[in-house]
Structure 1
Amino acid sequence: MSTSHVSEILKPYHPAPWMSDLHGIPSHIVELSQKPTPIQPWNLPRVPDGYQISIKRDDMTGSTLSGNKVRKLEFLLADAIHKECQHVITIGGIQSNHCRAVAIAARQLGLTPHLFLRSEEKEEFYNGSEGNLLLDKMVGSNIYFIPKKSTYKKDCLPRMEQLAEHIQSTRGEKSYIIPVGGSNELGIFGYIEVFREMIEQESLEKFDDIVCACGSGTTLSGMAVANYLTGSKLKIHGITVCDSKKYFHDDNNEIFPLIGLKSVQSEDIVNIIDGFKGQGYGLSTEEELGTIDRTYRDLSVDFLTEVGSKTGIMLDPVYTGKAAFGLVQLLEQLPEMFKGRRILFIHTGGIFGLADGRMNVILKSKSENKIKIWNDINKPPFS
């Protein structure tokens, strides 16, 4: 990449004054997202009376770059370019929103994406092109399928480092490794910056609580850090869709000292909530998909279609669907958990996950009475 092209892409990052005590503040940013994203009233179904729900539309950060991951990549890929890397290597599930965003953003910036995708050892997974995987392949990503149960530090990172070494030795080119979900001490600035955006939108005084899905962690922790630094009185909640609240608190407590928050404990500045993973990360059984409210804590995709048909907002079955479903259950069962009745839900995207195939059977059964065939103009399909 030429020096002139780099100077066009890399923009100096100017932090807010309240960030001044943080360590490792990024020097540059690449502008990949469409911002600011709007904050809108949201008539979320099943919410008990008396609550005012609004939604921050970070599913509108772009088209193929829709969702929260691009917020982190604006800093991570700026760092990659600043370090003169030509390749980007990352890791996620087979339908990873993060990997899709990395692949597309990398190509837009002239970098080569390499994706390690955890998957079942089945041929149909390797040959499929649904959802996010379709977009991964459309931009010509180099894809490496690895066992689904691979752990990051033991199984994934060594593979990523081995690939980086191979690229360096055979091509003489540098690689930039991005962890799961872009979650590290640099990626956290993505949602510290989003909190700043919401301040500039003059909206935060209108809410008591902020709620989002917690999948890799730094979307939630970035907002919690910003909330703490600004002295805001909001209460920040994250609903886990994988792992556990202990895992995420421990991860935050490792990252916080790296950005200068040595005396801050995650448990003191953010409420992380377990119990709404259902069958597990990214999983929905046939029974779960087809039954409304089968159990208190299981996400039903009937909820997703209900939200879509009543509000026009698309939720995905992996992240936002489980978080929104958890929110309405908590408002009903544990209202004392919330500071007030004015709730802001952060929509973190994931729309391409709806196209992974799991919704087909459900939508077929739900659409039977709404789809009509009208071949003969003189024979309308209604009486």
Structure 2
Amino acid sequence: MVSLEAYTPPSWAAHLPNPPTQRLRLAVTPSLLHPWPLPGLPPGLELFIKRDDLTGMQLSGNKVRKLEFLLAKAKAEGHDSVITIGGIQSNHARATAVAARYCGLDSHLILRTSRLAADSDPGLVGNLLVERLVGAHIHTVTKEEYAAAGSRALTAQLERQLRGQGANPYVIPVGGSNGLGTWGYLSFVEELRGQAADLGLTDIVLACGSGSTAAGIALGSHLAGLGVRVHGYAVCDSEDYFYAFIDDLLDQVAPAEARGGAGARDLIRIAEAKGVGYGISTDEELATVLDAAQATGEAPW
């Protein structure tokens, strides 16, 4: 079990309205920052990697930083369970299920899968094994149902159903991506600022799948005066979608005047990088992963 603790925003974010006042200490932080000598780097280019894949065993990955704030709110408001949604092997769903159990909360996971698989037991493969070990309730929907209804409608439907049964669930959006979740990566920027003070960083590069990691790093880098360019590589959806989504998150966290009028297109460069499809890799991409792992011991999942 973990307990609520007081949270104080970084000094450069103290002027933002309605910051969170509590968090749950779930992540193993600070995560490591070290050189990453990938093969084939141009002369003079120095690359570092921030190991947010090592934020805790079952909780590894970037989602746990968001869950520290989201689950703190769920606990503070007296909820007894959480609902979230994602793909059948969603890392966010796994992290949510484990973190909820740490906090003494039940979890309900709406997982998107194929029409054939939705009508059968999803099994114990990959993240599903961890989710079932911690007692998560699995609800499957087809890709077609997900596309037709959308994640918000599906979670709202399950919320109504559970409330009708006497439960008091708290809904966490896809990837933990809302204004409150964005604070996880505003705090990340303060951590990085301390680690990289003497490194002369010029650019921050990240994968963009649900949006709030990108929003938090972009806004935090701007407010903290890091002087870096932020690049987000979209693994789903489109550049325009993420610019609009990040603008919405910015409005939730920091009014325009609190960020000098800067919008998403001022703070981050989004580029499409989903290739042939989300979660689908070409032979060339897999060879790149293999080369990186064999050269450095770090696999770029």
Q: Do Structure 1 and Structure 2 share a fold, with TM-score over 0.5? A: yes
**What's the offset of the Cα at 1:205?**
4.8
Partner of 1:269: 267
SS in structure 1 of the partner of residue 251 of structure 2:
helix
Residues of 1 paired with 2:117 and 2:264: CA distance?
42
Equivalent of residue 279 in structure 2, options 272, 277, 282: 282
SS for the counterpart of 1:103 is: helix
Q: 1:229 to 1:205 in 2, by over 3 A?
A: farther
What is the one-letter code of the residue matched to 2:113?
S
Further displaced range: 46-55 or 162-171: 162-171
Task: Indicate if the aligned counterparts of 1:100 and 1:132 stay in contact, CA closer than 8 A.
Answer: yes
Residue from 147, 154, 157 that aligns with 2:152:
157
Is 1:188 aligned with 2:153?
no
Which residue number corresponds to residue 163 of structure 2?
168
Task: Give the aligned partner of residue 306 of structure 1.
Answer: 291
Structure-to-structure mapping, 1:109-188, within 5 angstroms: 109-123=103-117, 126-151=121-146, 154-171=149-166, 173-188=167-182
Q: In structure 1, what is the Cα distance between the partners aligned to 2:103 and 2:198?
A: 33
User: Quick one: distance in 1 between partners of 2:60 and 2:198?
Assistant: 23
Q: Deviations over 1:360-381 (max 9, x none)?
A: xxxxxxxxxxxxxxxxxxxxxx
User: Deviation at 1:128?
Assistant: 3.1
What SS class does the counterpart of residue 122 from structure 1 fall into?
helix
Q: CA deviation at 1:310?
A: 1.2
**What residue number does 2:224 align with?**
230
Q: Is the 8 A contact 2:37 2:296 kept in 1?
A: yes
* Structure 2 match to 1:70: 64
CA contact (8 A) 2:146 2:154 kept: no
Residue matched to 1:38: 32
Distance 1:305 1:131 in 2: 20
> Deviation of residue 199 (structure 1)?
1.6
Equivalent-residue separation in structure 2 for 1:130 and 1:315 (angstroms): 21
Once the two structures are TM-superposed, the CA of residue 152 in structure 1 deviates from its matched residue by 7.2
- Taking the aligned partners of 2:287 and 2:78, their CA distance within structure 1 comes to 47
Amino acid at match of 1:165: R
**How far has the Cα of 1:159 moved from its partner?**
2.8
Determine which of 207, 210, 213 is the counterpart of 1:213. 207
- CA shift, 1:133, in A, is 1.9
- Equivalent residues in 2 for 1:314-333 (5 A)? 314-316=299-301
SS of 2:293's partner is helix
Please report how far the alpha carbon of residue 183 of structure 1 lies from its aligned counterpart in structure 2 after TM superposition. 0.4
For structure 1, list consecutive stretches of 5 or more residues without a partner in the other structure: 293-299, 317-383
Gaps of 5+ in 2: none
By how many angstroms is 1:151 displaced? 4.6
Higher relative contact order, structure no. (Cα contacts within 8 Å, ≥ 6 residues apart): 1
Provide closer, same or farther for how the CA distance between residues 304 and 118 of structure 1 changes in structure 2, counting only shifts above 3 A.
same
The answer to whether residue 195 in structure 2 is matched with residue 201 in structure 1 is: yes
Between Structure 1 and Structure 2, whose CA radius of gyration is higher? Answer: 1
How far 1:106 sits from its partner (Å)? Answer: 0.4
Structure 1 residue 126: deviation in Å? Answer: 3.8
CA distance in 2, matches of 1:14, 1:50: 39
* Structure 2 counterpart SS, 1:29: strand
Alignment-mate amino acid for residue 313 of structure 1: E
TM-score (norm 2): 0.93
Q: What is the distance in 2 between the residues matched to 1:168 and 1:130?
A: 30
Partner of 2:12: 18
